[in-house]
Amino acid sequence: MKKYLLTIAAALVMISGCVKDDEFLSTDPKDLLTDEAVWKSPDLVLSVLADLYNRYPEQQTITNWTEFTNFDEAFPSESGQYWRTKQVDYPYDWWNLWDYGYIRDLNLFVQKCSAAKELAEDVRARFVAEARLLRAAIYFEEVKRMGGVPLILEPMEYDFSGDPAYLQHARAKESEIYDFVISEMDSIKTILPDDAGIKSRATKWLALAMQSRAALYAASIAKYGVNTPSVSLPGGEVGIAADKAIPYYQKALDAAQQIISSGKYSLYKKKAEDLEENFAALFYDKANNPEVIFAQDFKLKSGKTQEWTILNQPWSSAEEQQGGRINPSLNLALLYEKLDNTYSPFITNNGSDYMYYNDPKDIFAGRDARLGGTIILPGTKFKGVPLDIWAGVMYWKDGKYNTITGDNFGDLDSIPVAGTPKSSQVVGTDGPIDGLQFSAQTGFFVRKFLDPTVGSGQIGTRSDVWWVRYRYAEVLLNAAEAALELGQPGLSSTYVNQLRERAGFTTPLPEAAISFDRIVHERRVELAFEGHEMFDNKRWRLAHKVWNGETISANDVVSNIGKADKINTMIYGLWGYKIFNPGNANHGKWVYRVVKPSNVTAAHRFNFGNYYSRIGSDILSNNPKLVKNPNN
């Protein structure tokens, strides 16, 4: 019996185990999708598109925190990152980008999706328009960093002839890439949905916002490029003729005005009772946010979450043994004006004596609400926990102030004055402690994009706050800048004043107050930690002046506030101290000192060669038609 069973079983295996030879080699794979299968199904095409959205190019973002600490916005409070404030020069290849792999995938998508007749007409048109927008976005990013690049709009195929010369394309002019971005936006804006509720996919309004930004970049390079004649190439791959500035500014203004006049977006004002909280909520409130135009979205428990809050949470309310990495600089903090529209440093001294404050927050009182909305200040709260940011105790002994401090978060020590308790806290739970990572080494933490939800600071939960790429406030600033450059300061002031009113200013700026310096200032304070600073300074040709390698003193930091070309090469901080002087009126009050963290040793220098990044020598030798960027 056994024998028969075995025989039958063997026979069955033989019969069913074999297929015809030709079928054996053409079995459909079970672990990947074929081209034909994908282009039939809108769901599958959407997942291809999702991958393309995911590869959207970026420099400074909440998922790449260290890049925020390269310039003057913030200090990197992590022991492995101090080199960023210790190096003078930026390598010429730092921001280079030559992502033709992504461009090829986008070109393939456009080509194949356009030919996918099995998809419904409107679905297909939207997909193609979205891919074209992403393609324009990568070319925009390329031109920002590299200048004109070869403009490839078809997927190229190699014919294995041994001669790749026909695949080698020369660089387009810088203006041609900008023109391409602008014209693409014109042709896809009517295809994309005009629903302002869509935030993480392309809409008509994103197309207009991108067009406005691109036109503004091109315009300012045309206008301010004359200040750096050596940053140009004879073929126009770098540099834009000055006479093109006006039409570009006009285009930037028109695009911005279409968004403004549509009435689809407005500034976020849901929490008008607390303007600082309102400005912070603008970035974490994802429900019916009227200001956000385009964002990279995240979702809890989906695998797509981010750790900005874990990395930057204050130690006092930290949910892990880490946080506090980005420490906004005093250089940035003192840009925020007083509510009477004047610039003023934080008052640390009163004549030859310190200025004494009853509460640590008092030194920051009466300022632009965006200060507290962007930066976590001493004396405020985060997640309901009061911040504990102070650098030490200043006790009165022998006719002068002496300082005692600790070297770990919230250290205890005994103040060497007769009659004091054996042990008391001598430094804040949040620092600042010079050289101690995760402590507020400038006296500040970042607040923008920080998630106030419980659990957002835990590695196991993370955060789903989105990264805002385009928002209505930037559109207003684009319009304001373009209007000013077109000789309409009155119009410009109406846009700027909308933002200032939201920040708590009650007196609007008059027309006469609108200047280039003012526009630069408004962009810096409104758009801090949103990835604009370097590219703005590049297009205004201010970068080599602002970061010129010259050492700056504490006195330099607190003077000339609001000047567009103020030298900002080194990061400074503002440290608070508690006064210990029993019996004196100032006992228990707070004073502040302007300090430079000891890890800030070098003054940043942005060379002419940094304006347009180096094209790698492998790329140059693969394609002899490419010309090198100037000065590098």
Asked whether position 11 contacts other proteins by CB under 8 A, the answer is: no
Asked whether position 623 contacts other proteins by CB under 8 A, the answer is: no
Taking CB under 8 A as the binding criterion, the range among 355-363, 500-508, 548-556, 560-568 that sits at the site for other proteins is 548-556
Provide the β-strand partners of residue 381: 386
DSSP secondary structure letter of residue 431: B
The full DSSP string for 439-459 is: S-TTS-EE-TT---STTTTST
Asked whether position 453 contacts other proteins by CB under 8 A, the answer is: no
Asked whether position 630 contacts other proteins by CB under 8 A, the answer is: yes
Torsion of CA 272, 275, 278, 282, to 10 degrees: 120
Asked whether position 88 contacts other proteins by CB under 8 A, the answer is: yes
Taking CB under 8 A as the binding criterion, the range among 19-27, 149-157, 162-170, 605-613 that sits at the site for other proteins is 605-613
Nearer to other proteins, 339 or 602 (CB): 602
The full DSSP string for 471-522 is: EHHHHHHHHHHHHHHTT-HHHHHHHHHHHHHHTT--SPPPGGG--HHHHHHH
Asked whether position 93 contacts other proteins by CB under 8 A, the answer is: no
Q: Per-residue b/e over 21-56, b at no fewer than 16 CB within 10 Å?
A: eeeeeeeeeeeeeeeeebbeeeeebeebbeebbeeb
Residue type, 44: L
Taking CB under 8 A as the binding criterion, the range among 41-49, 165-173, 284-292, 619-627 that sits at the site for other proteins is 619-627
Asked whether position 246 contacts other proteins by CB under 8 A, the answer is: no
Taking CB under 8 A as the binding criterion, the range among 401-409, 483-491, 513-521, 613-621 that sits at the site for other proteins is 613-621
Which x/- pattern, by CB under 8 A, does the window 34-73 give for other proteins?
----------------------------------------
Query: C-beta of 550: minimal distance to other proteins in Å?
Result: 7
Asked whether position 621 contacts other proteins by CB under 8 A, the answer is: yes
Q: From CA 217, how far away is CA 140, in angstroms rounded? A: 10
CB 408 within 8 A of CB 436: yes
Q: From CA 454, how far away is CA 444, in angstroms rounded? A: 21
Other CB atoms within 10 A of residue 418 CB: 6
Asked whether position 620 contacts other proteins by CB under 8 A, the answer is: yes
- Choosing from 508, 607, 623, 627, the residue that interacts with other proteins (CB under 8 A) is 607
Asked whether position 549 contacts other proteins by CB under 8 A, the answer is: yes
CB 257 within 8 A of CB 279: no
Asked whether position 631 contacts other proteins by CB under 8 A, the answer is: yes
- Choosing from 47, 79, 551, 560, the residue that interacts with other proteins (CB under 8 A) is 551
Asked whether position 226 contacts other proteins by CB under 8 A, the answer is: no
Asked whether position 108 contacts other proteins by CB under 8 A, the answer is: no
Query: C-beta of 553: minimal distance to other proteins in Å?
Result: 11
What angle (nearest 5°) sits at the alpha carbon of residue 337, between those of residues 378 and 256? 115
Nearer to other proteins, 162 or 229 (CB): 229
The full DSSP string for 261-323 is: HHT------TTTT-HHHHHHHHHH--SS-SSEEEEE--BTTTTB-B-HHHHH--GGG-SSS--
Asked whether position 609 contacts other proteins by CB under 8 A, the answer is: yes
Interface positions with other proteins (CB under 8 A): 88, 229-230, 549-551, 602-603, 605, 607-609, 617-618, 620-622, 630-632
